[in-house]
Structure formats: C-alpha cells, structure tokens
Chain A
Amino acid sequence: MKVLVPVKRVVDYNVKVRVKADETDVDLANVKMSMNPFDEIAVEEAVRLKEKGIVSEVVAVSCGPAACQDTLRSAMAMGADRGILVESDGELQPLAVAKLLKAVCEKEGPSLLICGKQAIDDDSNQTGQMLAALMDWPQATFASKVELAADKVTVTREIDGGLETLAMALPAVVTTDLRLNEPRYATLPNIMKAKKKPLDTIAADTLGVDIAPRLKTIKVSEPPKRAGGVKVADVADLLNKLRNEAKVI
C-alpha cells in the first residue's frame, strides 16, 4: 500500500516573524526555514505504518520553489522512500496546492494521503480538506490516532468538544494533529542515505491545472501591541487591582 505525504517548507516555528516597514509582507530574508511541524508528524506516522508492515511505500511531495528539495530530503531522512517536487516559483495558495496534489494522486494512486492539519505560516487549515473534496474521498482531520487496515482506516480526531472516531474506506485523506506522535530526529547515516534516494521534479505548469492565486494580499500589518503591565506584590494586591482597577471580578 502506498502513502503520499505532502510536506511544506515554512519559516521555522522558533522564528518570530516581523512585518516589513512598507507593510507589503513579512520579512523572510535570511530566516531559518524548516518542514512544517504538522508535516513532520505526518511523515512520522507514514513511516511507522511502513515499519509495521502495513504500508509498502512512503512518497513525500512538496509544491513550491527548488528550495523545497531540502524539505523533501528531510522527509526522506526520516524514512520516506522517495520525493516528488512539484516546482513552481509563483505563490501557491491552498486551492492550487490541492489541485497539484490531485494531479499527483491521479498519477501515483496512493491508498492514503496524510498531511498536516495546518501550515504554521499561513495557518489556513484547508489543503487536506480541499484535496479530499476534489478527489471525492473521505477525510478525517485533526487526527490523534490512526489505525490502518488493508481496506479501511480508523481515525480518532481532536474536535472542539473532545474526541471523535471515524472509520473510512480507502483511499482517504487524514490530517495530523499535535498528539498523533512525536516525530523522530533524523540520524546522520539516514541523512546521508536520503541524499541518494530518488527525487523527481515535475514542473507545475505541465500538470494542466489552474494554479493562479485567487486571493491578493494588499497589506500586511503589525497587530495592535499590548501595553506591558505591572507586577503586583502579592495575592491581596492582585485581587485589589482586579476588583477596583480592571473591574473584571
């Protein structure tokens, strides 16, 4: 059984991004880029399914500029068997990524696609659901547990009120939440091995899908800053301030 894992190259989660002075975008010059943390969880889950013998091949896919090869190599160092770069230098919005992934799914015929629930840069939380809709496949978003059998997958989802478990026929889309697993660190030998694994590049414009952006960003601004507060001396002082100054209790 083949599993496809889309991986996105994003600003590392430790970086505090700053808005450019001209308010056109955030400043991404020279910031550290990494694999989206939710996608690391997705790769980990796919690799574990392979280690259990249920999955035979794990294919990582990234859509974006040539630099996404690094992200694919990271996925392969974690255990993905090969990588596909759908290369495009323009801005790719979730609908476009979903369409590109659809074209890849049609070619590769995976039984399962595991992707992150959200990318930590744009926080859109859309791509997996959009792909599932375009393929007319079932979906289980925000997964905290995945049990895969030959013809179905049972997924526990983190929802607002608690947990929900769904059973779906394959092929299906699963999106990962934080508590699905703890991704491994790639070891040096595996990083070396990953350099030799196959990585195919497909030019996005050869896939015949409309990837033009539908949303135009006209301004990126700094959110209002909170004025720094005060330190209170003790619990009595805190209570006094909450009652008489802030008047919230």
Chain B
Amino acid sequence: MAVLVLAEHDNKSLKAATLNTIAAAIKLSGDVDVLVAGEGCAEVAARVAALQGVKRVLVVDNAAYGDQAAEPLAKLVVSLAANYSHLLGPSSSYGKNTMPRVAALLDVAQISDIVGVVSEDTFVRPIYAGNALATVVSSDAKKVITVRSTAFDPVADGASAAVENAAAADAAKKSDLVGRELTKSERPELGAAKVVVSGGRGLGSGESFKSIMEPLADKLGAAIGASRAAVDAGFVSNDCQVGQTGKIVAPQLYIAVGMSGAIQHLAGMKDSKVIVAINKDPDAPIFQVADYGLVADLFEAVPQLTASL
C-alpha cells in the first residue's frame, strides 16, 4: 500500500502545507511518494527529496503544469493513481481546487480537511465550522484526501529520497491564466507562522490597520491575519482572512485585536496554543476562548504593547 502526496509549490519554493500533508501520509504507510508537477521546478523536487519520510519524488516538468491549473493536474494525478491506495493533497486553495477533480475522475468520494487518521479507511474531519468532529469510514477502493495542515506536525529535513521523472498525462489546457496579483510580504506564511496578530472591524480603517497591526507584527516576527469584516471592508487583502471560509491557523500565539469572535472566525483559530484578545467590550465572545483577555481600547493598548516588546 503506497501513498501519493501532491506537493504544493510555485515552481521555485515548496509551500509549507506540503510538509504537514506528508506527515499525515506517513501515518498511513511507510511508502510515501511525492509528486512535484510544474515547470522549471527542479529546486522544489530537490527540497522535497530532503524531507524525512519521502521514498520517491516523482517530477513532471512540463509547461502544462506551470501555472498549476486544476484540469491538467487532476488528469496527471489520475494517470499515476493505479499504484497508490491513497492520494493526499493539502487543504489549501490549491489542494481544494484540484483534489475533488481527482476524486470525481476516479469515481470516489473525497474526504475533506482531515484532522486525524484512525486507520487506513477511517478519518476524523471537522464539520459545522468545527463545532463537531465526524469520524468517517470510506468504502472506496482508493481514498482521495485533503489534509488540514494545522493538525499534523511538519516533517523535518535530513533525508535523501530518489528523484525520478514521470510522464505528463493529457495536458490539454482548459483555461488561460490572465494574471496573478500576489501579496508580497517578508512575513512568515499565515498558515505556518508561530505567531499571528489578527485584526478585526474594530481597527476602523486600512490606515489604522497598517499603523497599529504592522509594527506589532514586525516586533513579534508574526504573520498578519484578519476577520472577514476587516477584509470585506478593504482594510487588508483577502489572503489574510482567518476562519471557517478563510485560512485555518494554529500558531503558538494568536493575538486577536478588535474582533468579536464570531463562530466562523473561531473555527479558523481556536486550536492556537495561546490566544490573546484585546477588545473594549468585556462581553465580546472572543474572551470565552482567550487565555488572556485585555479589556481596553486597542488604539491605546496595542501601541503600548508594541513599545514594550
């Protein structure tokens, strides 16, 4: 029984969620291969080969996979599926875009966003915004799975797996990439950061989000998150949204500033090790999950905190 993991990358660097996905794969089998499909992605393949627990790296270097479109990628994974009992991808926008297509082409269910492996066919996944955990058994011959990265510790470096080229499949493109506007940031990836400072509607404007939250993030070497309300209001870009329908994070320290703590937001951060909330309303629901709550005006408390770090 071998497992194939779909690596997420941008042809240059490997995305951190891949390390957690490999960790979940290791719980299923000692025989874990990783597929690196892209264009000019040799560096990524070398990086994957150094990860512990990887047996083989399959590289498909072809222009068709350069922009990571779901249609050709799904067909490629399906073309390799015969050798594997489980096909895993990260539960990121990339994995969510591709893996259901793989499952449908194989005529199997997808098991979304798993947080636990019970056995080869039994998995735990959150439902209803994390208010319940379902244990599900799959009766399909092959299991197609997406993995919630915060639930599995990333694998470490220190190995050297074989790197092999694999053949491209039906690579017909179904869409054209018009362009990308990627947020450029020196900060750590939100999903993998040790510290996240996150702002809500209470910040009032994009300017104050910047002037209040960024210095705090700089001091702590933190990633910046936000509530949906802050993103909808245009204070920060969409990729900062934490929650049921945004990113799921579980850092060592999560500092929630000026946000009420709606269940949809809590779904994305309540597995953080330590939660701090700063809110002027003593009854805000965020205080029910916060380890340390500070009832204060954020415009005074946060600059004071930043200054004392």
Contact = CB atoms under 8 A, between A and B. Distances in A.
B292 A121 contact: no
A230 to B, nearest CB: 6
Interface residues of A, number: 81
Contact of A229 (B74, B293, B295): B293
Interface size class of B (residues with CB under 8 A): 35 or more
Interface string B257-291: 00000011000001001111000001000011111
A21 interface: no
A218 B286 CA distance: 32
Nearest to B172: A136
Contacts of A139: 70-71, 97, 101, 174-175
A106 to B, nearest CB: 15
Interface stretch (A45-53, A54-62, A158-166): A158-166
A132 B92 contact: no
A126 B110 contact: yes
Nearest to A15: B128
B232 A179 contact: yes
Given A161-B182, A223-B126, A93 B109 contact: yes
A185 interface: no
Contact of B238 (A140, A158, A222, A223): A158
A246 B40 CA distance: 44
Contact of A138 (B131, B175, B273): B175
A214 B293 contact: no
A133 B112 CA distance: 17
Interface of A: 11, 13, 16-19, 26, 38, 93-95, 98, 117-118, 120-134, 137-142, 144, 154, 157-169, 172, 177-179, 213-223, 226, 228-232, 234-236, 238-239, 241-242, 246, 248-249
8 contacts: A133-B101, A133-B102, A159-B94, A162-B180, A177-B238, A218-B135, A223-B126, A242-B292
